[in-house]
Amino acid sequence: MENFDYDLRSIQAVRDLARLGKTASQQIAEYTEEQIDKILRNMVKAAKENAVMLAKMAVEETGFGKVADKTYKNHLASMILYESIKDMKTVGVIAHDEVKQMMDVAEPVGLLMGIIPSTNPTSTAIFKAMIAIKSRNAIVFSPHPSAAKCTMKAAEIMNHAAVEAGAPANIIGCISLPSMNATNELMECNEVKMIIATGGPGLVKASYSKGKPALGVGAGNCPAYIERTANIQKAVSDILASKTFDYGTICASEQSVIVEACNRGEVIAEFKKQGGYFMSPEETAKVCQLLFKNGHAMNAKFVGRSPQVIADAAGITIPEGTKVLIGEQHGVGPSYPLSYEKLTSVLAFYTVLDWEEACHLSIQLLQNGIGHSMSLHTQDKDIVMKFAKKPASRILVNTGSTQGGVGASTGLTPSFTLGCGTWGGSSVSENVSPMHLINIKRVAYGLKDCSTLASADPTFDYPELSNSSEVPASLAENMDIANNEQLVKLINELVAAMARG
């Protein structure tokens, strides 16, 4: 009975949020670029003042990751994002083609729903709030139940900062009584015009089934290939910096390392030098038993954990200063659990003969996180182009895939919602930005005379039309009733006969 009452209250609260959010979305739709920028700058200020506090809340509530790294995520989602989007045109005329006499006019979508994951519960909320406001939309968040407090706090801070700077009341809302029923109710509310889903495959799939536009992103399983021409010291350094960032909770983080037989020894030595611990087959099996349940589903207890926590739970001893646990694998699939996504400080390790074998293996690994990302360490531009054909939306070269994928170390748009394209069942393949949250209307002036389109077009040349008319002459004569005496006589006779009965 208690759960039933909770569900009823959560559903009613969601309906209220949606109504308030719709009103706010209608109001902000009339704002100018100057008004929007003022609001965003105040949100950035609030995010900076609360970045550490929100990071601490997230770690305490979920147990995932590191405070310092979550603080940087909050910074990336606010300050760095703002610098990237501040000059982006999202209000009024955003493009004008003088030659074609066309204009693009931006209009907001309306009320957005943002689904927030437990792995990045405050940074994703800040990010989605920022891009919603930039595109003149309101947004309501659905937090993960295990990270509800920190997500609600982030939403509250962003909403207060926005309203303080002139935004309508309730411009940023959040479900206060989280449940699957509440999330489902919000997805189905008529007031919600678009869903931005960042979370598990089940939620993303549900978002696409609601009959309204959705931006969903799938799981990642990023392979990192260290090709024979790579700077091995830098490649290993980048991979470790990426995989240890917030203990691997970003879906773009490396999941597997692929090396060639010719550089295997040097790569292993470099990993050991920089803090990688290569587990024995027995130790790898123990760790796999901890990390996965129900096949290859990640055990939430070990998401975003340090190698020390994982090693202690598995009953294995690792050297002091170990940064990542590495397990050698010889295949892909259920018999090789480390070939699947591991949002924690554990890597799979593969050895191949050459780039062609690395290519085949990468495709196999990407099937478990298809469309997301892969990284490549090489000095050979031809190799880059060969791997650019792989089914991944981000091919990241000579950088850590975590920082590269979210746009921190690359020129990609800073984002915590990374599209996977049609390979991964996603409607977008790029990093989601404010430009995905607007409708673009085209205003097009007439350039040609409609009545003379064919005659004035020198390319409209069809000889078979030149000697024909719309109606054959013989048929036209028969249709000319006034000049056809026989037809007139026949009609008169028929009329007379009908009159006689």
Residue found by looking up tokens 């055990």 in the block: 299
b/e sequence 425-436, b meaning 16+ C-beta within 10 Å: bbbbbbbbbbbb
What band does 491 get if pLDDT is binned at 50, 70 and 90?
Answer: low
pLDDT at 490: 65
b/e sequence 150-167, b meaning 16+ C-beta within 10 Å: bbbbbbbbbbebbbebeb
Residue 58 has pLDDT above 60, yes or no: yes
> How confident is the model over 74-87, as a mean pLDDT?
98
Amino acid letter, residue 376: L
Are the CB atoms for 374 and 395 separated by under 8 Å? yes
pLDDT at 483: 53
Structure tokens at 490: 């026949």
Give φ, ψ of 449 to 5 degrees: -80, 120
b/e sequence 116-127, b meaning 16+ C-beta within 10 Å: bbbbbbbbbbbb
Given CA atoms 404, 410, 411, 414 in this order, what sign does their dihedral have?
positive
What band does 472 get if pLDDT is binned at 50, 70 and 90?
Answer: low
Domain ranges of the chain: 2-218+433-443, 222-407, 466-499
Q: How many CA atoms lie within 13 A of 229 on its CB side?
A: 11
d(CA 232, CA 477): 89
Residue 78 has pLDDT above 50, yes or no: yes
d(CA 191, CA 97): 35
> How confident is the model over 194-199, as a mean pLDDT?
88
Percent of the chain with pLDDT over 90: 78
CATH homologous superfamily of 2-218+433-443: Aldehyde Dehydrogenase; Chain A, domain 1 (3.40.605.10)
Strands 172-174 and 297-298: unpaired
Question: Could you say which DSSP state residue 411 is in?
Answer: S
Per the model's pLDDT, the better-predicted residue between 105 and 421 turns out to be 105
Residue 494 has pLDDT above 70, yes or no: no
Are the CB atoms for 15 and 185 separated by under 8 Å? yes
Per the model's pLDDT, the better-predicted residue between 115 and 203 turns out to be 115
Question: Could you say which DSSP state residue 80 is in?
Answer: I
Residue found by looking up tokens 């147990």 in the block: 63
pLDDT at 498: 63
What band does 295 get if pLDDT is binned at 50, 70 and 90?
Answer: confident
Residue 241 has pLDDT above 50, yes or no: yes
d(CA 375, CA 225): 6
> How confident is the model over 377-403, as a mean pLDDT?
95
Residue 211 has pLDDT above 90, yes or no: no
pLDDT at 304: 96
Residue 325 has pLDDT above 70, yes or no: yes
pLDDT at 467: 65
Are the CB atoms for 86 and 33 separated by under 8 Å? no
Percent of the chain with pLDDT over 70: 92
SS3 32: coil
Q: What is the average pLDDT value for the chain, to the nearest integer? A: 92
Range in 190-204, 303-317, 399-413 with the lowest mean pLDDT: 190-204
Residue 175 has pLDDT above 70, yes or no: yes
Laid out side by side, the sheet with 346-352 consists of 276-278, 324-328, 346-352, 254-260, 222-226, 371-377, 392-397
Question: Could you say which DSSP state residue 209 is in?
Answer: T
> How confident is the model over 430-448, as a mean pLDDT?
96
d(CA 183, CA 202): 12
Yes or no: domain 222-407 corresponds to CATH 3.90.550.60: no
What band does 475 get if pLDDT is binned at 50, 70 and 90?
Answer: very low
> How confident is the model over 410-421, as a mean pLDDT?
93
Q: What is the SS3 string spanning 282-351?
A: HHHHHHHHHHEECCCEECHHHCCCCHHHHHHHHCCCCCCCCCEEEEECCCCECCEHHHCCCCCCEEEEEE
How many CB atoms within 10 Å of residue 43?
Answer: 27
pLDDT at 469: 54
Residue found by looking up tokens 């109606």 in the block: 471
- Per the annotation, the verdict on 251 as an active-site residue is yes
Structure tokens at 370: 């298809």
Residue 371 has pLDDT above 80, yes or no: yes
Q: What is the SS3 string spanning 32-63?
A: CHHHHHHHHHHHHHHHHHHHHHHHHHHHHHHC
Query: Which residues pair with residue 443 across a beta bridge?
Result: 103
Crossing angle (nearest 10°) for helices 264-274 and 232-244: 50
Nearest to 50 by CA among 123, 136, 129, 138: 123
Structure tokens at 201: 């495959």
Nearest to 27 by CA among 138, 101, 127: 138
**Options 150, 174, 251, 288, the catalytic residue:** 251
Residue 468 has pLDDT above 70, yes or no: no
Structure tokens at 191: 């007031």
